[in-house]
A and B are shown apart, each in its own frame.
Chain A
Amino acid sequence: MSTLKRRVSELSEIEPETLSKRKFNDSREENDKIEEQHSESEGSDDENNYDDGKPHSGPTAANTAAQDIQIVRETAELFKSNIFKLQIDELLQQVKLKDSHILKVEKFLHMLHDMINEVPEWEEKSLAEADAFFKGKIVTIPFVDPKPDFAHTNYKVDYKTPDISLIGSFALKAGIHQPSGSTIDVLLTMPAKLFEKKDFLNFRCLHKRSVYLAYLTHYLTILIKKKNLDDFLQLEYSYLNGDRLLPILKLYCKPSHSEATKSEYNFYKTKFSINLIIGFPYKIFDPKKLLPNRNCIRVAQEGKDVPLPATPLYNFAVLSSTTYEAFLKFLYKTKKQTESFKEAAKLGRLWLQQRGFSSDVAHSGGLGGFGTFEFMVLMSALLNGGGINGNKILLHGFSSYQLFKGIIKILATTDFCSTGHLEFHSDTSSPSKYFEEGFQTPTLYDKTTKVNILSKMSISSYEMLKMYAQETLLMLNNVVQDQFSNVFLTNINKINNIKYDFIYDIHLPATGKGDPESLLNSRFGPMEKIKFITLENFFVNKIANVVKFALGDRVKYFEVELIGRKNTFPITKRKVYSNFSSHLNLESVKIKILNNPSESEKLVTKGPIHSEEPSPEAVAFKTFWGSKSSLRRFKDGSISHCCVWTTSFSEPIISAILDYSLKKHISEQLSIENGTTRYFQDLLPLPNLPGCSKTSVLSLTSYYSIKKSFDDLYRLIFETELPLSVKSILPVGTAFRYTSLCQPVPFAYSDPDFFQEVILEFETSPKWPDEITSLEKSKAALLLKIQAELDSKYGDKYKTFFTRDESIPNNLEITLLNILTPEGYGFKIRVLTERDEILYLRAISNARDELKPELERTFLKFTAKYLASIRHTRTIENISHFYQFYSPVVRLFKKWLDAHLLLGHLNDELVELLAMKPFANYAPYAIPGSVENGFLKILQFISGWNWKDEPLILDLTRPDDFTSTDGESELDAKTMKKLSEGLSLSQYKGIQSNFRSLRNGDPNGLHLQFFVASKNDPSGILYSSGIPLPIATRLTALAKVALNLIKTHGVNKQTIDLLFTPALKDYDFVVTLKTPVPLKSSSGIIKQSEFKNLANGQLLSGFPADISQMMDKMDPTFHLVKYLNLKYRNTIIFSSHRYIGVSGGDRGDKNVVTGLIKPLFKKDQKFRVNMDCNVEPVDDQIVKLNKDAIFHEIAAFARDLVVKFESE
């Protein structure tokens, strides 16, 4: 095995010429020689081989230790950390190409080489003659558009034996294993004598190549048949990198019958495919004439004095066809000088792939123009300089990690588009240099060949690349958390709705009209044709321009993707023919958007300032927006052109803007669909507030109202005279951190969150009783004082009453002061003293052992409710201002949990922390910018969270804005600043060790599943202890099912509905309840349709005069389930909807109670006195669960509410 390995590594040592024609044949022999040499030198090699995990066979132990130390020190310096290096090694090992596969395909390549050489040469032919030659043959000439006019062309076409060489990653040995298979690029360079000096003009060289390719294909099919390879070998035309000007021949093996698989040339299993690329000889045309700003397609035009537009895409296609080999040599040379070149290239390839980048032309949509080739060229350019003075950015001795990071850093921090560009010399005659002059197109310019390597990128794909590089740089600089898998292992392209915030599908009308211009509002004339080459490119460009202008900074990034664009076609066809439309090679268009939440919902699109003499900007603005554009005076007195939009609860403003602008500028007839956003946003409970259906989903106004009401009350309480003065009054309710499932609505007291919790602390006093009941009574006495004061002074406005609180188990003495404010909100005040904690702790130490866990649970509840809630509320409130979509996302997540009957088992705080994961630890994705995106990311996280082995450690700080900084020091200062706010390394390590020691005692997580820690709670168990194991696993299972559903069926109305439908069949029994009073409208929830009908007459308007009447509109099922859980806590887990106003049907009067019998009690058991279980005897020792009796008990217990009882 290791011989093989070495041989492969040795293959790369072959000089570049080896890859060309002469040595192509005998490389096999060389391989054999190398093999021999290396089997001899193997023994000595092994000692240096430190990282393959084998035991060291070094001469002495001391020696090994010294060596180890050396290695350890080196890796710590060269790599981010030891573990990072080990991870990289392991990863590269994983993606290595199989040696047997390489041998197999090489065998075929040799044969192919011979075959190509066997193709007979041809005589000079005119195009018409050539065309006649292919009449009646299988193969068709793949002429590029426009097809040449045979009558008016007088140049000759011909076939002479090409110069064959291997190019691309396979030749450089930088290829990696890919599940879908890899491609091997074989370059066939047409001999120079086939060309004339002016052939670069008007598609001439391209047509010559098309004929050349067809002739070669024709003879290859004959030869393949002759050699009986046609059983498994498949030939197909394709476009190199999706460029319609570059037809190539693609060879691959199709699955075939057993006879054919035996052939030694069948490389089907290796999944390789081979591209035969036809190139032009290097420097055959004057490169200066093919610069991006030159015109090389001469078309007739009316006005002679207008210069023809430049043809950059065409020029690039011609020029790059002459430089394949030149760049191979350049890369090869750099690779020889740089030890870790190959590894860095592989890392780069993985990084790009996981983010969806490729070498494909981005001008026809997608994230293209930057693949491994471009990555390697950039790396080589940076190894040869790259600074402003030509100073080297990367050094040849760098490790793979350093090279990779260096490139990411350049991509992240340096602009290659609008304010600068990089020049390099592929003959390495002089160093690469960065110039602070931008061409408004991504530029990495080779002075030697005059090729701009980044020609295939569009501006939007470049911006996206830059964004990912910036995110990755942050990850690589993150010394606290291990980001390896986020950088390299996670493929973020899997679900579009998770990668992007909004996705819009644009469907063009199906037409048979035959005229592409009837589809579009604009002309696709000869000038556009030569500039954009294809209608698709033109179309993408047009859409991109409209979207960019229309949305401006409302979105951060966007990508236009053509769906159903075909890239291959049979050799019997001239070009790709689409199934969908006669003109466009596409089915539909997707606009994928990364939202900018801080700008996306602003009502006004502000244009240029109005002036007497209309400025060109103003004219452009007016023409673009048409009737939408209007003049407005702003607060500062300026008058500007602008467009005004209206917000809506169901749709973002972006939808309206796109609909308007695309219809206006692309085509009236197109339809823009977004099948998801509306459905997700409509799932959020709509608050019964004035104008609610026109309120943006991001609006927090309803929360600000309750805060305002609290502030007034706060002042009053502080002013009251009390025996002990008030130290602090801190709100801890969910509404104060914008996470309550229902938005606060005045007088909506059926909402379980109506009474928002507040914690009141008095000044410290030694007089608090040292006994818990008396302590609670003295607290109540002080609350009575407050109540008396409020009543006497403000009794006309504020209403007060006392209730018992059961939120702390085993403490039944807690009394809360409830206050109803004149604005219609409710608060309940609990008192915290410095003595509480001590008493609860003392109870733990005094209790007998079997009660200790119960008392610990009590203590945790107390801590969560009284102490940690203050920190939690403050933190979440603070950072949700930076994560604008957090509030609606967490509310939707709560709704999902409640729909699945899980919310009642989980603490609000835990739910909120889980929902924070995609925001605070967002890598490698972007911070969620839409409700659906955030919600799906939560599900994705939970579905993949292996809580047995992984803690969730949240860095609850605001997101760091990546502003490109020039100096290293500034970035470091930023990092340091960030570190001081967020989790420090030692805190992080501390939390990790807490997790490890927790799992030492509970390796399978039977007692505690979700370890969720943050700076606020390093223990990680505060909110998640006491969740029954079946509930935790059910949450994971439900998320998994949800994600699978989305993966297989996509996100649409049906799947979204399914996502929110509880699977009641999974439970042992289901009891359907109906409350006597519907609670929906009194929970402050209204339906979109109801709203339209009822206008404002239905707003809730007051509290009942007799406060005790309020209780009639509160949920009786909550206490029912609570007591059922208490009664049967040993045997059955009961679940139900917590928010029946939301989940309880159209009127909010339905609830279900489901029971899950614990597995232990599904079996027969020995009779014990303390078994705490309703049983019936089986014999005189064995008993079993008496389900019938239990069902009767439940039915009796819920008698007045139950409507249906289902069980197996």
Chain B
Amino acid sequence: MVDKPVAIETMKNGFLVVPFKLPQSAVLKSSHTGFHYTFVKKHQSKLETEQNSLFIVNIPLLTHLDNVKNVFNKICSQSDTVSHIEDLMYNDEFGLQEVDLSALTSDLMSPEKASEVRYTPRNTALLKFLDKASLDNCWDALRKYTADSRDSLIEWEYQSPTVATFINFYKPIDVEHLKEDIYTHMKIFQQREQESKEAAQSSIVDEDGFTLVVGHNTKSLNSIRKKILNKNPLSKHENKQAPPSAVDKKVKKDFYRFQIRERKKLEINQLLTKFKEDQEQIKVMKAKRKFNPYT
């Protein structure tokens, strides 16, 4: 039985430990009452978009802006202040936005470069406030809440999906909506493609007057293939053998006597090394008791 949250207010690295009471659950035994702990710290960043933010670690399940607002307002009201929350950023609970395939395949559709996309680690988010005053108010309220309001802990209210939520994943897409979506998207895409083509044509003209018309994600399939096929994870563990070059193919291999001699030597050596390898292998197998017919 845990009645009280852990008596730690701040972690060593400056995170405030903000406890919430867990609600009663019909199916869980009462011994499972406890607390959820969220870790909060003031976010420091030079970026304009990330000013006046709190960095939050360990956000409860299915949290979104509305219930964050709700809970933080309660905390603030305990200290009789107000603060205005503007946005909950980078909260990607299920990791669905972790990989932006579109941006990784082309820079046409995503405004920023893939390397410049901002993100926070899983299970963390930024809570952006309207202004500095809101942030400070909230921060003070949080400190107070963690420090002395051990008795008046706020109970976290989980958002529960319904059966319908889960079944909706099977739902057909509305055809009109789909058409509309495709239409608008493709329009933008074609427009961007056109723009980038023009940009490329106008910008890169070399000294001889030749124009480079392809970007770094070349469009011709064959030229790309060679470049990226070695990225194929399936062939990662394959032993690559260089194909014989045209010159090698033409050379006669049994013209000089020394060639024949060398070849024979090589063959015998191969045979010997194979034999030695086999012996080694047998030793290994023997050590593993691979020769017992009675197991």
A168 to chain B, nearest CB (A): 20
Contact with A along B73-94 (1 / 0, CB 8 A): 0000000000000000000011
Cβ–Cβ contact B282 & A83, under 8 A: yes
CB of B210 closer than 8 Å to a CB of A? no
Q: Interface size class for chain B?
A: 35 or more
C-alpha gap A1107/B171 in the complex (Å): 9
Residues of B within 8 A of A485 (CB): 290
Residues of B within 8 A of A1112 (CB): 167
CB of A954 closer than 8 Å to a CB of B? no
Residues of B within 8 A of A1114 (CB): 167, 170
Give chain B interface residues in 211-238, CB to chain A under 8 Å. Answer: 217, 219, 221, 224-225, 227-229, 231-235, 237-238
Q: Which 8 A-B pairs have the closest CB atoms?
A: A1188-B34, A1196-B158, A1170-B121, A771-B106, A1116-B166, A801-B172, A843-B104, A1199-B160
Cβ–Cβ contact B186 & A72, under 8 A: no
Q: Beyond the given A72-B275, A491-B293, A842-B104, please list 13 additional residue pairs across the A-B interface where CB-CB is below 8 A.
A: A68-B272, A90-B286, A94-B292, A772-B102, A802-B172, A842-B224, A858-B99, A1116-B163, A1119-B167, A1167-B11, A1169-B124, A1189-B60, A1201-B163
B84 to chain A, nearest CB (A): 26
CB of B12 closer than 8 Å to a CB of A? yes
A901 to chain B, nearest CB (A): 19
C-alpha gap A82/B232 in the complex (Å): 36
Q: Please judge, given known A-B contacts A68-B275, A1172-B121, A1189-B35, whether A1021 and B234 are in contact too, CB under 8 Å.
A: yes
B147 to chain A, nearest CB (A): 14
Q: Which of A147-155, A500-508, A628-636, A847-855 contacts B (4 or more CB under 8 A)?
A: A847-855
Contacting residue for A784 out of B2, B55, B179, CB 8 A? B179
Q: Please judge, given known A-B contacts A1021-B234, A1200-B160, whether A774 and B189 are in contact too, CB under 8 Å.
A: yes
C-alpha gap A93/B292 in the complex (Å): 10
B247 to chain A, nearest CB (A): 24
Contact with A along B2-16 (1 / 0, CB 8 A): 100010101111010
B229 to chain A, nearest CB (A): 7
Give chain A interface residues in 577-610, CB to chain B under 8 Å. Answer: none
Contact with A along B176-218 (1 / 0, CB 8 A): 0011011001100100010000000000000000000000010
Contacting residue for B106 out of A350, A353, A770, A803, CB 8 A? A770
CB of B271 closer than 8 Å to a CB of A? yes
Closest to B59 in A: A1174
CB of B95 closer than 8 Å to a CB of A? yes
Cβ–Cβ contact B27 & A1204, under 8 A: yes
CB of A303 closer than 8 Å to a CB of B? no
Q: Interface size class for chain A?
A: 35 or more
Q: Which of A19-27, A404-412, A453-461, A808-816 contacts B (4 or more CB under 8 A)?
A: A808-816
Cβ–Cβ contact B102 & A771, under 8 A: yes
Contacting residue for A1188 out of B32, B227, B290, CB 8 A? B32
CB of B263 closer than 8 Å to a CB of A? no
Q: Which of A7-15, A990-998, A1060-1068, A1082-1090 contacts B (4 or more CB under 8 A)?
A: A990-998
C-alpha gap A850/B95 in the complex (Å): 14
Cβ–Cβ contact B6 & A86, under 8 A: no
CB of A763 closer than 8 Å to a CB of B? no
Cβ–Cβ contact B94 & A1127, under 8 A: yes
CB of A572 closer than 8 Å to a CB of B? no
Give chain B interface residues in 100-123, CB to chain A under 8 Å. Answer: 101-102, 104-106, 108-109, 114-115, 121-123
Cβ–Cβ contact A1019 & B175, under 8 A: no
C-alpha gap A86/B268 in the complex (Å): 19
C-alpha gap A1171/B179 in the complex (Å): 42
C-alpha gap A1195/B33 in the complex (Å): 12
C-alpha gap A1186/B281 in the complex (Å): 49
CB of B245 closer than 8 Å to a CB of A? no
Residues of B within 8 A of A848 (CB): 114-115
A271 to chain B, nearest CB (A): 13
Cβ–Cβ contact A772 & B293, under 8 A: no
Cβ–Cβ contact A1127 & B283, under 8 A: no
Closest to A1176 in B: B37
B90 to chain A, nearest CB (A): 13
CB of A1108 closer than 8 Å to a CB of B? yes
C-alpha gap A860/B219 in the complex (Å): 23
Interface residues of chain B, those whose CB is within 8 Å of chain A, are 2, 6, 8, 10-13, 15, 17, 22-23, 25-29, 32-37, 39, 55, 57-58, 60-62, 93-96, 98-99, 101-102, 104-106, 108-109, 114-115, 121-124, 158-163, 166-173, 175, 178-179, 181-182, 185-186, 189, 193, 217, 219, 221, 224-225, 227-229, 231-235, 237-239, 268, 271-272, 274-275, 278-279, 281-283, 285-286, 290-295
Residues of A within 8 A of B60 (CB): 1189, 1193
Cβ–Cβ contact B101 & A1197, under 8 A: no
Closest to A775 in B: B105
Q: Please judge, given known A-B contacts A83-B282, A859-B233, whether A803 and B25 are in contact too, CB under 8 Å.
A: no
Cβ–Cβ contact B28 & A1205, under 8 A: yes
Residues of A within 8 A of B99 (CB): 809-810, 843, 847, 851, 854-855, 858
Give chain A interface residues in 940-996, CB to chain B under 8 Å. Answer: 990, 993-995
Cβ–Cβ contact A771 & B237, under 8 A: no
Residues of B within 8 A of A1173 (CB): 58, 123
CB of A146 closer than 8 Å to a CB of B? no
Closest to A993 in B: B239
C-alpha gap A87/B292 in the complex (Å): 11
Cβ–Cβ contact A856 & B114, under 8 A: no
Closest to A806 in B: B169
